[in-house]
Every structure is written in C-alpha cells, then in structure tokens.
C-alpha cells in the first residue's frame, strides 16, 4: 500500500481542539509505540575556547572582513589558529585582547 502524505490546515475553537486531540490520541496510541524523550542538549558552559571563523570574528569586533584581514596581516590583533586551509580565532583570546583595549601586537 503506497504512503500518502497529506497536509491540512484547519482552524478550531478550543473545544473542538480538545475533542480532535482526544480522538486522534486514542488512534495514534494504538498504532505507535511510545516515542523516547529526547535528552536535553546543553550549550557548553565554557565558551572561551570556541573558535570563530573570519566572518564571526569580524562581526564580534564590529569591523568588515577586509579590515579583519588587514589587522591580522599587519599584526594588530592576536594571530589565528590554522587547521589545514581553515583559519579560526579563539573567542577567549579575542575577548581578552578587546578587554585590554586592543593593543597593537606587532610592536
């Protein structure tokens, strides 16, 4: 038997929603096994070691990507981490640099 997908939009008042839900709940319980509850995904508590790409770093510093690369090439900012062809900046290092007043690092 082929599967048929149906999308339907219906507006109900509160009483109709409750009746409709009860009707389908009984039917679905007969056909579906209980679904496992998903485990909560928590954000990492220590975000200082996250790595940012050039767009994210530029956005954080409120400069254009071009300005970010100029600053990096002239040594005005902390050096990035290179992983193959990927270039990333450590969020914690950038935050510390900003907190220190963005001192020029090339001097």
Domain boundaries, the chain: 51-99
Are the CB atoms for 89 and 59 separated by under 8 Å?
no
Question: Residue 101 pLDDT more than 90?
Answer: yes
Are the CB atoms for 51 and 90 separated by under 8 Å?
yes
* Residue tagged 């001192």 (tokens): 103
Question: Residue 80 pLDDT more than 80?
Answer: yes
DSSP state of 32: S
Task: Look at 23 and 102; give whichever has higher pLDDT.
Answer: 102
Q: What is the pLDDT of residue 57?
A: 95
Copy the structure tokens of residue 20: 């409709």
Question: Residue 14 pLDDT more than 80?
Answer: no
Mean pLDDT, the chain, rounded, equals 81
Are the CB atoms for 52 and 91 separated by under 8 Å?
yes
Instruction: Name the maximum alpha-carbon separation found in the chain.
Output: 74
Q: By mean pLDDT, which of 12-21, 54-63, 69-78, 85-94 is the weakest?
A: 12-21
């Amino acid at each position: 038997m082929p599967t048929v997908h149906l999308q339907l939009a219906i507006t109900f008042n509160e009483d109709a929603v409750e009746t409709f839900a009860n009707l389908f709940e009984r039917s679905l319980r007969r056909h579906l096994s209980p679904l496992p509850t998903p485990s909560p995904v928590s954000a990492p508590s220590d975000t200082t070691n996250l790595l940012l790409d050039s767009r994210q770093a530029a956005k954080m510093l409120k400069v254009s990507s071009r300005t970010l690369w100029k600053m990096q090439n002239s040594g005005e900012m902390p050096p990035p981490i290179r992983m193959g062809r990927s270039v990333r900046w450590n969020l914690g290092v950038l935050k510390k640099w900003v907190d220190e007043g963005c001192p020029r690092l090339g001097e």
